[in-house]
């Protein structure tokens, strides 16, 4: 379980594709290798991946290795990742940690698409402009997106500003653009989408009640 609050931006150092059904990735990060256990879960730009190897880097920080299996490759952007790609990283939530975002499972529902990115003038703000993104989701997931609700995109917890048919918008502040990969995102890019957990169960309950009480 995660919160969608990114704690590091890592970089893919190597990829080993194994017969199209598994991608073995080595990722460089600023995490302390002594705090990463084999079998630990780390959210990598959305999908929750299991650490299968870890070690220290000479320049500081850690390298860790994960496997992206067939289901992850089919539902996320992981099949398109290349060496050098930046990834939003988050360690799994511990009991007692601050829940700064919303409950995120790391189970990506689908790949959404950035329709547009517009820089919003911040006037004399020394931190720079914010950015408004419009995102198109697969039509079957529209029912899970609600104005002022939560959504996880690229592993980042964001608030939905507005919804129109199969698109919705989010507004990112300068800090988020700086400390995540969102500063690099542009129109046309695919992004990993995880809908809000509570919205998922609320929709399922409504469907079940409709079947019982037509």
SS3 of the chain: CECCCCCEEEEEEEEEEECCCEEEEEEEECCCHHHCCCCCEEEECCCEEEEEEEEECCCCCEEEEEEEEHHHHHHCCHHHCCCCCEEEEEECCCCCCCCCCCCECCCCCEEEEEEEEEEECCCCCCCCCEEEEEEECCHHHHHHCCCCCEEEECCEEEECCEEECCEEEEEECHHHHHHCHHHHCCCCCEEEEEECHHHHHHHHHHHHHHHHCC
Catalytic residue among 41, 77, 150, 157: 41
Catalytic residue among 30, 69, 187, 206: 69
Catalytic residue among 43, 44, 48, 112: 48
- Is residue 2 annotated as part of the catalytic site, yes or no? yes
- Is residue 21 annotated as part of the catalytic site, yes or no? no
Straight-line distance from the first to the last Cα atom of the chain, in angstroms, rounded to the nearest whole number? 35
- Is residue 50 annotated as part of the catalytic site, yes or no? yes
Catalytic residue among 79, 105, 107, 203: 107
Instruction: Give the residue among 122, 17, 11 at the shortest CA–CA distance from 69.
Output: 17
Catalytic residue among 2, 31, 64, 133: 2
Catalytic residue among 14, 21, 35, 159: 159
Catalytic residue among 7, 50, 116, 167: 50
Active site positions, annotated: 2, 41, 48, 50, 69, 107, 159
């Amino acid at each position: 379980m995660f919160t969608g609050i990114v704690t590091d931006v890592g970089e893919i150092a190597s990829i080993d594709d194994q017969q199209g059904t598994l991608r073995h990735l080595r990722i460089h990060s600023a995490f302390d290798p002594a705090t990463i256990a084999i079998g630990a879960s780390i959210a990598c730009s959305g999908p929750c991946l299991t650490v299968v190897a870890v070690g220290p880097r000479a320049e500081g920080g850690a390298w860790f290795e994960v496997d992206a299996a067939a289901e992850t490759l089919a539902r996320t952007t992981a099949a398109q990742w290349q060496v050098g790609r930046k990834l939003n990283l988050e360690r799994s939530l511990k009991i007692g940690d601050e829940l700064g975002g919303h409950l995120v499972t790391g189970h990506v529902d689908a790949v959404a698409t950035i329709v547009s990115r517009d820089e919003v003038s911040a006037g004399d703000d020394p931190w720079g402009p914010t950015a408004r993104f419009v995102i198109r989701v697969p039509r079957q997931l529209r029912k899970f997106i609600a104005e002022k609700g939560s959504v996880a995109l690229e592993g980042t917890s964001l608030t939905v500003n507005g919804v129109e048919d199969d698109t919705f918008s989010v507004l990112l502040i300068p800090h988020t653009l700086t400390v995540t990969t969102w500063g690099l995102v542009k129109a046309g890019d695919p992004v990993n989408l995880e809908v809000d957990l509570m919205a998922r169960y609320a929709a399922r309950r409504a469907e079940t009640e409709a079947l019982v009480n037509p």
